[in-house]
Structure 1
């Protein structure tokens, strides 16, 4: 079985390493998987955030940072 570092709900912990999901390893896997499509990664993680909000009693800002705050954002070009 490969280590995919998937979440175990309702605690939203990593199945493989036990850290809060998305764990550092899963973050790297997601960045490679979504590559040049960070908007799609944001949509996926926003859906995960929505599900986790129903399970976890953490402050909304902390959950937002945990699920979305680490995603690199490309700079907007001004024409």
Structure 2
């Protein structure tokens, strides 16, 4: 009989108070700055990709792996050259401009303080 009284005791206890979440607000929906191929413009801002927000996000993401970032961007450079050659077969893309756009900013020595 005691065990049945004990069960009633637990059922009659009030529920514990749970404080509402007071942390930072969840971030707004994130729209990644990705390339629109084959023209290589940013899908969000329309600037030539990689745009400044994309570069900043990649520098933060790859901050401990800058060589991997350069390799990643090198593959994009390769794809961009192929796309530009398909779009404009009679006019080759400017290699210096594409190097600066896709690879020069990934040099870790440029980002040391």
Q: TM-score, normalised by structure 1?
A: 0.87
Deviations 1:8-64 (A, max 9, x none): 000000000000000000000000111111000000000000000011242111111
1:72 aligns with 2:75: no
4+ residue runs of structure 1 moved beyond 3 angstroms? none
1:39 aligns with 2:67: yes
Give me the whole-angstrom Cα distance separating, in 2, the residues matched to 1:38 and 1:26: 15
1:16 aligns with 2:44: yes
Query: Higher relative CO (CA 8 A, sep ≥ 6), structure 1 or 2?
Result: 1
Matches within 5 A, 1:44-59: 44-56=72-84, 57-59=92-94
Structure 1 residues without counterparts, runs of 5 or longer: none
Q: TM-score, normalised by structure 2?
A: 0.62
Structure 2 residues without counterparts, runs of 5 or longer: 1-28, 85-91
